[in-house]
Structure 1
Amino acid sequence: MEKNPLLVIESMYGGFHRVEKKIADCILSNSSLIIKNNVKMISSHVNVSESSIIRFCQLLGYRGFSDFKVALAHHSKKLDDEFFQIESLDSAEAITKATLLNNMNALKNTLDFINYDELEKAAKLIAQSKKVFIAGSGNSGFMVKMFYSRILTTGLNLVYATDSYAMKQMQFLLDEETVIIGISQSGKTAELIELFETASQKSVPTIALTASTNNKLTSLANIQLVTALSNSNYIRNYYASEVVVKSILDSLATYINILLDIESIDQLNTIAQDIFLEAMAVMKNK
């Protein structure tokens, strides 16, 4: 299925330069204007050159403006139509409904946007790897720990890092048996980018989970898991992003367990018991 061009623009927005942002803002705020007019009129309205608009459409993956218009007409519903503005609500019921609906819409958009082939590649790569490094800081650090706990009972050799010092240490432990999973909504986390750059130099495969396709981290990653979240409303997406990222990681963890034939509660309990006994043995030897 062809991706919604509005979601594509949202996911790339953070990496646009000034002219590209002007064009993107026009499209996101008034998609019907784009659908109903030619490139010359849009050029005059946005006050940019026609060639800039055509290049922008090509940047999104379309042959040109006409090709983009066809896709936009097919997905003409504005992204924010289904959102309540939390700032304008004043009751517990209204705020709760708005929050839940916003989260549901973020999940729905990601359902249409996520690349399932990339998710399958990520699961298979993790399941086959000897060592799995999981890294992310700030709010993403909580997701790192959650994913670590989800796949801990698989028996995979797991290491996680949620601060710059731990990510620096990871750089020295990279080898051909390692895979790295980096979690960063913006894709601009400096220490994570540095880790991915080192991994690239050592030919270590990397998986990036972000909310943007147009950033340094995704450009370095071998596998890109990109969610569909707008950059236009920080308050709304601050909470929705956690719901979406957690859901993607839950899906990934479930698939990894299936690939490793860990499908029953009994199997999970047995592996958990083995991990506990091994930890106890290590403690006794200290």
Structure 2
Amino acid sequence: MVQDASARAGRHGGFGTGPLAYLEASIPDLPSASARAAVYIVENPEKVVRFSLKDLSGFSRTGEASIVRLCQMAGFSGFSDFKLALARELALRESAEGGTREEEHHLHAMGHELARSITRTAEALDLAVVEEVAARLRHAMRIDVFGAGVSGIIAELFSYRLLRAGLNAHAIRDITLAHEVANGLGPQAAALAISESGVTANTVEFLRAARAAGAYTVAVTCQARSPLARHAEALLPMAKLNIPAYGGYINAVPRAVYVAEVLAALAGAVPKME
């Protein structure tokens, strides 16, 4: 039975427990159309609460019927019902950040969670896999790094760090250029794609095209069972966050910086002579 929106919103009052958290957790298991809508909602909640169903369909490139089914899977009667709960979750978040005590508690919680995300990412990284990726990157003639949105910022950090480690790395944020580059790569090149959700369409297509062209492909994502991971020869996992990762937040950056530092440290190391 579909629950009343106000009852559901009341039950999902805190960070990590509302409709946005549900969508984030569900993305890897959703059909591609529903996943596109879910990613758009998670990344643009403040816009979505003002959208009509037609608006969201156009911006997320998802059919209206798929969006309605997604809302029903989340426990709502339809898109309007879902928007009410979404608006309430955003209002609660803003309210929690408003008072001095609440804000102090929230900031401490955020710092703890960011530190925890780095620790959990460190625990999740398989040293043998990272060493293999580092070795392949060290011998690549060219390394192209792509990401969209906040992941584009991370892509630039990755390329900067790898470049300073002595590798020929380049960040690409323009999707048209990324597709042109990916199709022109070959066995001597490497492609590294970054997407927290692992379903960002442009990022998935970049890695798919790069692999089809013969390049060595690496995915940096929180979702091991994602379309992006399926097109990667190697996966560098990032830990999931228990704090909001949407609406302009850049809290995905610290754990990604850790992955970049580890990779650069190993890729930049010169093998000892026998």
TM-score computed with the length of structure 2 as normaliser: 0.59
Mapped partners of 1:117, 1:200: distance in 2: 22
Mapped partners of 1:232, 1:96: distance in 2: 11
Would the aligned equivalents of 1:209 and 1:224 in 2 still touch at CA under 8 Å? yes
Q: Does 1:227 align with 2:223?
A: no
**1:27-52 residue CA offsets vs partner (Å, 9 max, x unmatched):** xxxxxxxxxxxxxxxxxxxxxxxxxx
1:41 equivalent in structure 2: none
Match of 2:219 among 208, 211, 214: 208
- Identical aligned residues as a percent: 19
Would the aligned equivalents of 2:219 and 2:229 in 1 still touch at CA under 8 Å? yes
Q: What amino acid does structure 1 have at the position aligned with 2:129?
A: E
Q: What amino acid does structure 1 have at the position aligned with 2:121?
A: T
Match of 2:176 among 151, 154, 165: 165
Q: What amino acid does structure 2 have at the position aligned with 1:16?
A: D
Match of 2:185 among 174, 193, 198: 174
Q: Give the CA deviation at 1:126.
A: 0.6
Q: Does 1:190 align with 2:201?
A: yes
2:28 equivalent in structure 1: 15
Mapped partners of 1:259, 1:95: distance in 2: 44
1:150 equivalent in structure 2: 161
Would the aligned equivalents of 1:126 and 1:179 in 2 still touch at CA under 8 Å? yes
Q: What amino acid does structure 2 have at the position aligned with 1:101?
A: H
Q: How does 1:52-63 map to 2 (within 5 A)?
A: none
Mapped partners of 1:236, 1:194: distance in 2: 24
Would the aligned equivalents of 1:12 and 1:214 in 2 still touch at CA under 8 Å? no
Q: How does 1:21-60 map to 2 (within 5 A)?
A: none
Q: Give the CA deviation at 1:99.
A: 1.7
Q: Does 1:244 align with 2:255?
A: yes
Would the aligned equivalents of 2:144 and 2:170 in 1 still touch at CA under 8 Å? yes
Q: What amino acid does structure 2 have at the position aligned with 1:98?
A: A
Mapped partners of 2:231, 2:183: distance in 1: 18
Q: Give the CA deviation at 1:188.
A: 1.3
Mapped partners of 2:169, 2:124: distance in 1: 29
Q: Give the CA deviation at 1:113.
A: 2.0
2:134 equivalent in structure 1: 123
Q: Give the CA deviation at 1:233.
A: 4.5
Give the SS at the match of 2:116. helix
Q: Give the CA deviation at 1:111.
A: 2.4
Mapped partners of 2:181, 2:108: distance in 1: 42
Match of 2:110 among 77, 99, 115: 99
TM-score computed with the length of structure 1 as normaliser: 0.57
Q: What amino acid does structure 1 have at the position aligned with 2:144?
A: F
Q: Unmatched 5+ residue regions in structure 1? A: 1-9, 19-84, 262-286
Mapped partners of 1:251, 1:129: distance in 2: 18
1:23 equivalent in structure 2: none
Q: Which has the larger radius of gyration?
A: 1
Give the SS at the match of 1:149. helix
Change (3 A) 1:184 1:253: same
Q: Give the CA deviation at 1:156.
A: 2.7
**1:134-160 residue CA offsets vs partner (Å, 9 max, x unmatched):** 111110111111122112234433332
Q: What amino acid does structure 2 have at the position aligned with 1:14?
A: I
Mapped partners of 2:243, 2:105: distance in 1: 21
Q: Give the CA deviation at 1:168.
A: 1.7
